[in-house]
Structure 1
Amino acid sequence: MDTELVRAVRKEQDRTMPATDDPARPQTKEQLLRRLMSIAQGGSIGRSLQLLADYVGANHFLLARFDLVQEQGLDFVVCSNWPFDLVRRLEREFAASYSRTTELEKCLSLLQPRFALLPDDADAPRGLSREYCALTFNVGRTRLSLMFLYEDTIVLSPERLREVGLLCGYCVSLTSGKGQRADREFELTEREVECLFWIAEGKTSDEIATILGISRNTINNYITSVMRKTATKTRSEAIAYAVRNNLV
């Protein structure tokens, strides 16, 4: 019975995936990899994302620095062909979603496709579903989110989405140092790392101030800066971020 169910689901997915008569659309993983390597090595993140979107059957892609959505403006967007008004409308939604998520939940959500509905007052392009898919992943210390818009009749494959998340990380890593916004770094200073180390050791602000020989207010300023740069809300989350990125 389970085998029959799997076959039925796959048959339904095959029926709802885009037609295979488009020679420009990669149909197999091997075709995708060959074309992606050629495009990505040329430094074109936009063309790479379009190829990945085609592979999963999506119409529009948006790659965002998910750890920067709480910043002012739209600088968190790395590359997108979503309608601008829709991105601007969703900016606050993305920031609110990120702020409500704990550091543990952020880690557990990596490469796990998540589906959400557009707000009622947001206009989706004609013919597309009001549901969108988001997939988060890390490239070094940078957390990114890849989001897709797709047609009402399309069923996105979770397996292909996870493959695309890994391949998108590969493409972004190839563009490092080539002027992409995804490479924008918020490096911690030596003093900030020092404070982070003592926080991880369980020290209070007063104790750290005594150890480092500077005022308690200065220590708190360093800690606030650390949490802003790492997009964390509590000292515990900052410690988790530091451990995950081998900072302490």
Structure 2
Amino acid sequence: MDISQADIAVWPLPTAPTRARGGGFSREQLLRRLGEVAGRGALGSGLSALTEYVGASHYLLARYDLSQDSGLDHVVCSDWPFDVVRRLSGVITALHAKTTELEKCLAVLQPCFHALPDNTELPRGISREYCAITFNVGRLRFSLMLLVPEDVILSQESLRDVTLLAGYLASFTTRAEVRHDRDFELTERELECLFWIAEGKTSEEIAVILGISRNTINNYITSVMRKTATRTRSEAIAYAVRNNLV
């Protein structure tokens, strides 16, 4: 996709001061810089510009919906120190496991601050609290995490600018980079079960409708909850509704 500076300029950014608190340049300068990197699909350069604009020091963009993975496969692009990223991986997994589907929906576009583990070694002058903002690009959920200097207070309005533009960057620069693992795609049978669950049907009723055993239905439902990182049927339904699956 070819994106020009004019394309970026039409985004409905909220009214904010021309300079983010702690940032290094104005919104107009930010849009010009993004216009320069957009055509090249340079996600790292774009995220670096957003990070500097808001006054943060380092960025990490992750696939939030893949944070149940072991390892660092969910990291899309980052300039965080590797040891910090490795420690953060466990933190993300723990947060994801404890968060309900409703809480995940309410957290979208809302900046949250979390503390890194005490034994994490950070660059000198960097706060132990990082800022995390989740946003959706189609059915994919991303989290932008920012390390911040100790003496900087991030502007909420500038964070909103950054979140909208990070989603915009991710929408056209991660197509070739984001992992499309079939383990996280629902099969036709799983989608059928999800549909009937949303209709209020029990496993026994779905088994009669689809002509297969109740145990097989339960296996499909278990697989659905594993792939969607949900813990109950209600959460699975909420996930399906949010992602237009039913």
What range describes the TM-score normalised by the shorter chain of this pair?
0.7 to 0.9
Cα distance in 2 for partners of 1:147, 1:239 equals 28
- Tell me the CA shift for residue 109 of structure 1: 1.0
Look up the equivalent residue of 1:227 and give its one-letter code: M
Residues 90-139 of structure 1, C-alpha deviations (whole Å, 9 max, x = no match): 21211111111111111111111111211111111112111111011111
1:238–1:98 CA distance, 2 compared to 1 (3 A): same
Cα distance in 1 for partners of 2:217, 2:35 equals 46
Q: Residue in 1 aligned with 2:141?
A: 143
- Tell me the CA shift for residue 30 of structure 1: 2.2
Q: Residue in 2 aligned with 1:46?
A: 44
Residues 16-52 of structure 1, C-alpha deviations (whole Å, 9 max, x = no match): x15x5xxxxxx22222122213312311111111111
Cα distance in 2 for partners of 1:62, 1:44 equals 15
Pick the aligned partner of 2:105 from 99, 104, 107.
Answer: 107
Cα distance in 2 for partners of 1:164, 1:50 equals 11
Is the deviation greater in 203-212 or in 215-224?
215-224
Q: Residue in 2 aligned with 1:33?
A: 31
Cα distance in 1 for partners of 2:81, 2:231 equals 31
State how 1:48-67 maps to structure 2 within 5 Å.
48-67=46-65
- Tell me the CA shift for residue 209 of structure 1: 1.1
Q: Residue in 1 aligned with 2:178?
A: 181
Contact 1:66 1:144 in 2 (8 A): yes
Runs of 4+ in 1 over 4 A off after TM superposition: 182-185
- Tell me the CA shift for residue 218 of structure 1: 1.7
- Tell me the CA shift for residue 62 of structure 1: 0.5
Residues 201-246 of structure 1, C-alpha deviations (whole Å, 9 max, x = no match): 1111121111101122221221122112222121101101111122
Cα distance in 2 for partners of 1:187, 1:34 equals 38
Q: Residue in 1 aligned with 2:205?
A: 207
Residue 156 in structure 1 maps to residue 139 in structure 2: no
- Tell me the CA shift for residue 181 of structure 1: 2.0
The TM-score with structure 1 as length reference comes to 0.86
Is the deviation greater in 53-62 or in 202-211?
202-211
Look up the equivalent residue of 1:197 and give its one-letter code: F
Uncovered stretches (5+) of structure 1, i.e. residues with no partner: 1-9, 21-26
Residues 52-101 of structure 1, C-alpha deviations (whole Å, 9 max, x = no match): 10110111100011111111211111111111111111212111111111
Pick the aligned partner of 1:83 from 71, 81, 85.
Answer: 81
Cα distance in 2 for partners of 1:74, 1:215 equals 38
Identity of counterpart residues, as a percentage? 64
1:119 partner SS: coil
Look up the equivalent residue of 1:172 and give its one-letter code: A
Is the deviation greater in 35-44 or in 62-71?
35-44
Q: Residue in 1 aligned with 2:10?
A: none
The TM-score with structure 2 as length reference comes to 0.87
Cα distance in 1 for partners of 2:49, 2:132 equals 17
- Tell me the CA shift for residue 142 of structure 1: 0.9
Pick the aligned partner of 1:118 from 86, 107, 116.
Answer: 116
Residues 128-163 of structure 1, C-alpha deviations (whole Å, 9 max, x = no match): 111111011111111111000121111111111111
Cα distance in 2 for partners of 1:141, 1:63 equals 16
Residue 130 in structure 1 maps to residue 128 in structure 2: yes
Look up the equivalent residue of 1:213 and give its one-letter code: G
